Amino acid sequence: MVSLPILALAAASFGIGTTEFVIMGLLPDVARSLSVSVPEAGYLVSGYAMGVVVGAPLVAMATARLPRKTALLALMLIFIVGNVGCALAPGYWLLMAARVLTAFAHGAFFGISAVVASDLVPRHQRTQAVALVFSGLTIANILGVPLGTALGQAAGWRSTFVAVVAIGVVAWLAILRFVPAGMPGSSGGLVSEFRALKRWSVLLPMLISTLCSVSLFVVFTYIAPLLEHVSGLTPQGVTGALLVFGVGLTLGNLVGGRFADRGAMATIVTSLIAVVAVLVLFVFTSRSAVPAIATLAVWGALAFALVSPLQMWVVDAATDAPNLASTLNQGAFNLGNALGAWVGGVALNAGIAYGALPWVGAGFAALALAFVLTARSTARRENELACEAGD
């Protein structure tokens, strides 16, 4: 199933994932450089995420009728320009503006990439194909984030964004060369596509995507200071921990895609139950370095096992508006990222310790699980009624 077009999309998602997540490892450095607090620096995560949320529908409308390859190339150009701005920004608010501009490319790129990848493979491999594209995002946490963090600590955080610009250029060339040009954009009207998104069956998985992201980012946004102050890791130890976390993300993403092609709802339910349990465990294991790192790996695997099944749930629920729904679900994920970073910052400013943040994450995961179980129960009742009517 691995093909050059999918690898090209994965390369781009690697760059996007690096620029999105590497800021977590650089928060203390950015805060010191720009003379702001760590919670204030954490709002750079929220700013990026809100850029995705706001940009997703706007960019979706702007690119709706473009051929998919043309849209992907234009989005990568926005990504490159935004990261140049991050590298050159002289102050906090200009850095925030550059992050938001970069984020405008995020939602539409992943939304269109998911549809393109699912169209390139047989139906029974669609979730795996989406997971392969998203593997670039997770591999960014194995290579891009730890190496970007190490580079930023050694040569200044701006050097990390220069490296991301180079990744973006390579990805743009790969898409130009390998992604098929014969994939048209939307043939229907935007009004009819947005009308399809009013259905609760489409909005529900987007809501669940949001809650899952809140659960992740309320903790992960502040993972560097948590590991330093609670687990006792050095800055170099944090880099190693992020590497382990990235391995967990990658394995969970690929395994989640494979299992979801066999049973998407079962994969989502099982993963969410496990996420709740692991976050509660992290409250206690975070107090010591080795157990904390081991828990990070498991948590990462479970959190990203949810991504591709939720993405395909939205696409399947919105068969009459797959491009727009897929893009807006990326906005939903990133709305959760922004809310998670914000909730975590509010909790810290209210006096909650770094080590208690996993309790908050577990609560949001439990809420997501409740919505999933309700949806599954409703679907079963509807199927039973349909069978009775057929009899």
Find tokens 């130890």 and name the residue: 237
Range of the domain at 154: 4-179+187-390
Q: Which helix (DSSP H) or strand (DSSP E) does residue 275 occupy? A: helix 235-285
d(CA 324, CA 330): 10
Contact yes or no for 105/331 (Cβ under 8 A): no
pLDDT at 185: 58
User: What whole-number distance in Å separates Cα of residue 117 and Cα of residue 179?
Assistant: 10
Cα separation of 285 and 355, whole Å? Answer: 9
pLDDT, tens only, 319-354: 766 677 778 888 788 788 778 988 998 898 888 899
pTM comes to 0.78
- DSSP per residue, 55-119: HHHHHHHHHTTS-HHHHHHHHHHHHHHHHHHHHH--SHHHHHHHHHHHHTTHHHHHHHHHHHHHH
Give CA–CA dist 169/77, Å, rounded: 8
Residue 48 exposure: Cα atoms within 13 Å on the Cβ side:
28
Amino acid at the residue 13: S
Predicted local distance difference test score (pLDDT) of residue 390 = 58
Q: How high is the pLDDT of residue 342?
A: 86
pLDDT at 9: 92
pLDDT of amino acid 187: 55
Q: What are phi and psi of 104, to 5 degrees?
A: -60, -25
Which pLDDT score is estimated for 98? 92
From residue 376, give the alpha-carbon distance in Å to each of 205, 303, 329, 332.
12, 20, 20, 21
Residue 277: which residues within 8 A CB-CB, separation 6 or more? none
pLDDT on residue 78: 93
What is the model's pLDDT at position 106?
A: 84
Q: In this structure, are residues 9 and 139 in contact, taking their beta carbons and an 8 Å threshold?
A: no
CATH number at residue 200: 1.20.1250.20
218, amino acid identity: V
- What local confidence, expressed as pLDDT, does residue 147 receive? 85
Number of domain units in the chain: 1
Low-confidence ranges of the chain (pLDDT < 50): none
How far apart (Å, rounded) are the C-alpha atoms in residues 20 and 22?
6
- The pLDDT of residue 184: 58
